[in-house]
């Protein structure tokens, strides 16, 4: 048994796993109060959870900024939401796997004069085989972990000035697949055999670990940050993967999945409900708070990841 297994094995509890399974059957809590005149930023809002979340917030009176990769889809969704709800909807086009685009988005949001009331880091992707950005980063690691981390860090001066806001990280119970923590010497999956689900889980675990660090600084500005699993949801994620994944998705994942509208209700609740106004650095299964796995609760690992990430970004000319 390696050191990571020895470290975490005794800390695992079956009761927490059973609690997660029970939570899969629960419907999300709902907030029926409007959110008029508030600004909500959502990444990845042309389809699936992001799309329905943008519609939900717009239907409750919010103004929306969508951060999307595809210009045509983004404009179509923008027009649709604006016409359906009379909402102010803006699009920012960016590939959130690319450092230059991530920084451009961060700079734009930082320049906004009005407060960002809710920031939802939703953009994501799943790949069966390893894909690399021009900077040499594994795409899933860049999108799921580096993107929300860099944007949130860039917004610290704005949060310090505005002293308001909630941040929600759309995570996944797949973080549990990184059962023995992260390999800090191979965060890009160059040395090990690539596994789509393990790489996805590792990136989501890294996201949770960074939340612990970010929450400490944000707390001083009255800004909360929480992570949530949006339920097993029918989305277009992984639509470009191979035949085996497509069969599994169609006959297993989609068959037993819920509606993305339920995920949108959960994200509206977490972004607006007074019941969680002061809740920060927590993990939710939809709207039910869950206990994290031992690797996801390891502050020593979080600090080590933060240091390693800073070194990695410095090599790419990006400041953490």
- Sign (positive/negative) of CA torsion 253, 258, 260, 264? negative
Split at pLDDT 50, 70, 90, the class of 250 is: low
Strand partners for 166: 118, 224
Q: What is the mean predicted confidence (pLDDT) over 21-44?
A: 93
Q: How far is CA 314 from CA 109, 311, 317, in A?
A: 22, 5, 5
For position 252, what pLDDT does the model report?
47
- Using CB atoms within 10 Å of the CB of residue 110, give its burial: 0 to 12 exposed, 13 to 18 middle, 19+ buried: middle
Q: What is the pLDDT of residues 84-114, one digit of tens each?
A: 999 999 999 999 999 999 999 999 999 999 9
Tens-digit pLDDT profile for residues 122-146: 999 999 999 999 999 999 999 999 9
* CA atoms of 253 and 150, how far apart (whole Å): 31
* 1 three-class SS: coil
Res. 248: pLDDT tops 80:
no
Check residue 176 and give its pLDDT: 95
Distance CA 50, CA 69 (A): 13
- Please write the tens of the pLDDT for every residue from 51-90: 999 999 999 999 999 999 999 999 999 999 999 999 999 9
Work out whether the CA dihedral 277, 121, 260, 141 comes out positive or negative: negative
In the chain, the domains with their CATH numbers are 3-315 (3.40.50.720)
Confidence category of residue 27, pLDDT binned at 50, 70, 90: confident
Q: Say whether pLDDT at 157 is over 90.
A: yes
Per cent of the chain over pLDDT 90 is 81
Q: What is the mean pLDDT of residues 17-29?
A: 86
Quickly count: other Cβ atoms within 10 Å of residue 156's Cβ.
16
- In this prediction, residue 241 has a pLDDT band, given cuts at 50, 70 and 90, of very low
């Amino acid at each position: 048994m390696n050191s990571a297994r020895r470290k975490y094995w005794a800390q695992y509890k079956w009761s927490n796993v059973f609690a997660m399974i029970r939570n899969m059957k629960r419907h999300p809590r709902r907030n029926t109060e409007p959110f008029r005149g508030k600004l909500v930023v959502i990444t990845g809002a042309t389809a699936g959870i992001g799309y329905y979340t943008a519609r939900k917030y717009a239907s409750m009176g919010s103004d929306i900024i969508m951060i999307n990769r595809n210009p045509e889809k983004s404009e179509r969704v923008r027009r649709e939401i604006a016409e359906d709800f009379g909402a102010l909807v803006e699009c920012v086009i960016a590939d959130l796997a690319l450092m230059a685009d991530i920084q451009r988005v961060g700079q734009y949001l930082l320049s906004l004069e009005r407060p960002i009331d809710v920031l939802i880091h939703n953009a994501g992707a799943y790949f069966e085989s390893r894909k690399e950005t021009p900077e040499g980063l594994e795409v899933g690691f860049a999108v799921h972990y580096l993107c929300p981390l860099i944007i949130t860090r860039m917004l610290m001066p704005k949060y310090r000035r505005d002293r308001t806001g909630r941040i929600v990280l759309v995570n996944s119970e797949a973080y549990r697949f990184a059962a023995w923590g992260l390999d800090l010497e191979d965060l890009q999956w160059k040395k090990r055999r690539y596994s789509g689900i393990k790489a996805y889980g590792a990136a989501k675990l890294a996201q949770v670990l960074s939340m612990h660090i970010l929450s400490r600084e944000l707390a001083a500005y009255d800004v909360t940050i929480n992570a949530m699993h949006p339920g097993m949801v029918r989305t277009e994620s992984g639509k470009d993967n191979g035949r085996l994944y497509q069969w599994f998705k169609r006959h297993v994942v989609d068959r037993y999945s819920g509606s993305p509208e339920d995920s949108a209700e959960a994200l509206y609740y977490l972004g607006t409900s007074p019941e969680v106004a002061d809740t920060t650095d927590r993990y939710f299964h939809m709207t039910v708070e869950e206990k994290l796995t031992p690797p996801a609760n390891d502050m020593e690992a979080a600090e080590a990841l933060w240091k390693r990430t800073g070194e990695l970004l410095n090599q790419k000319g990006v400041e953490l």
